[in-house]
Amino acid sequence: MNQLLKFSLVAIFSIFIGAQITEGVLLVPYWQSLSANEFHAYYDEFGPSIGMFFTILTIVAALIPILLSIYCKLIKSRAVGFAFASSLFAILFVASFYLYFKGANQQFLQSTFTESELKNELLIWRNWHWGRVVAEVISLLFLMLALDKMEKQKGDFRDR
């Protein structure tokens, strides 16, 4: 696997995590500062586009370790364990959408929360979000370990 491709895979995944951190550091506190009426108006206008943006990024990021795992398995690379671990955490961060975010985001769109319910739900949302970011960072670390092991394995073959 060439260096540009490896760099690109890590860069894309890192951009995804950077966007997630930005959401947690900037958007969530902003949402928490809004009244329920202001939040629901904001989410009606921007929720679908935010959702589409993160859906595309999440799918691309999650596919990186999964496809790398398949590639490692096909070429019988010793990096397959790290690649599979990265894939496991990628599946975890995707699963979190279906376990929590899909329902909560739908309720945001339906404007179902009162003032106090919204404040509580945004705290829950924030906690799930940071848990998801932890899974993403772990996935990235295993991805980088897999790519490093592949590079070292390639060097081992050159030394023979």
Condensed to tens digits (0 to 9), the pLDDT of residues 123-153 reads: 999 999 999 999 999 999 999 999 999 988 8
What are the pLDDT digits (tens) for 11-20?
Answer: 999 999 999 9
Spell out the SS3 assignment of the chain. CCHHHHHHHHHHHHHHHHHHHHHHHHHHHHHHHCCHHHHHHHHHHHHHHHHHHHHHHHHHHHHHHHHHHHHHHHCCCCCHHHHHHHHHHHHHHHHHHHHHHHHHHHHHHCCCCCHHHHHHHHHHHHHHHHHHHHHHHHHHHHHHHHHHHHHHHHHHHHCC
Average pLDDT, the chain: 94
User: What is the residue extent of each domain of the chain?
Assistant: 3-154
